[in-house]
């Protein structure tokens, strides 16, 4: 399986957790790692290039920090520019059929904060429904997310464990992730 990680963090070099996840995944033979903020500092996304990259991969992992209960804005622009009518949806828009998508998200709050009755009232799964609906609307398979909570408090040992868990996650079968 060919896997593409699309990291969307405006300052990944300053992010201890996202950088550790990326470094762990980049060591895998079947993984293509991309940093959208580095590739498109002017925000001019090359949709044709993105189309070719998506077509060349079986699974696309969207790695990003939680930003005001959503993703960083460049990821939304990426969806708008890349998931186009006639390519991702609409007549002839079947290019995402058979593609697997998953979020890999980091959050400052604890897991308990992201639940009904918690400080943030909703789970990350609930907050990411627009991403899920977009992918499903385009015929892609939306897999469960990889989530790291409490990033400002994570120990070095905890971070090593999360990085190892991330590598296992991106390499796991869709069946294993969903069950």
7-49, pLDDT tens digit by residue?
Answer: 999 999 999 999 999 999 998 999 999 999 999 999 999 999 9
In this prediction, residue 78 carries a pLDDT of 98
Cβ(158)–Cβ(148) below 8 Å: no
Give residue 20's pLDDT: 97
| Model pLDDT, residue 179 | 87
pLDDT digits (tens, 9 = 90+) for 104-133: 999 999 999 999 999 999 999 999 999 999
> Which residue is it, tokens 């201890």?
16
Q: What is the mean pLDDT of the chain?
A: 96
pLDDT of residue 86: 98
Out of 1.10.12.10, 3.40.50.1360, 3.40.50.300, 3.40.50.360, the CATH code matching 3-173 is 3.40.50.360
The backbone torsions φ and ψ at residue 52, rounded to the nearest 5 degrees and listed phi first, read: -60, -40
Tens-digit pLDDT profile for residues 56-70: 999 999 999 999 999
Query: What is the dihedral angle through the alpha carbons of 48, 9, 37, 139, rounded to the nearest 10 degrees?
Result: 10
d(CA 131, CA 150): 23
Local structure of 24: helix, strand or coil: helix
Read off φ and ψ for residue 18, nearest 5 degrees.
Answer: -60, -35
3-state helix, strand, coil in the chain (%, to 5): 40, 20, 40
| Spatial separation of the C-alpha atoms in residues 67 and 104, rounded to whole Å | 13
| For the chain, domain boundaries | 3-173
Q: What SS3 class is residue 111? A: helix
How confident is the model at residue 27, as a pLDDT?
Answer: 86
For position 58, what pLDDT does the model report? 98
Confidence of residue 150 (pLDDT cuts 50, 70, 90): very high
Q: Is the distance from CB of 81 to CB of 122 less than 8 angstroms?
A: no
């Amino acid at each position: 399986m060919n896997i593409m990680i699309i990291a969307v963090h405006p300052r990944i070099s300053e992010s201890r957790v996202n950088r550790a996840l990326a470094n762990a995944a980049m060591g895998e033979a079947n993984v293509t790692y991309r940093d959208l903020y580095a590739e498109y500092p002017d925000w001019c996304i090359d949709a044709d290039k993105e189309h070719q990259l998506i077509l060349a991969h079986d699974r696309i992992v969207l790695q990003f920090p939680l930003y005001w209960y959503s993703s960083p804005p460049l990821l939304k622009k990426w969806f708008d520019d890349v998931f186009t009518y006639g390519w991702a949806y609409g007549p002839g828009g079947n290019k995402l059929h058979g593609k697997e998508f998953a979020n890999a998200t980091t959050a400052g709050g604890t897991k308990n904060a992201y639940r009904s009755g918690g400080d943030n009232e909703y789970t990350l799964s609930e907050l990411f429904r627009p991403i899920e609906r977009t992918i499903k609307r385009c015929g892609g398979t939306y897999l469960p997310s990889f989530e790291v909570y409490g990033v400002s408090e994570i120990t070095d040992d905890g971070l090593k464990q999360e990085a190892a868990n991330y590598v296992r996650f991106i390499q796991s079968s869709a069946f294993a992730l969903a069950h």
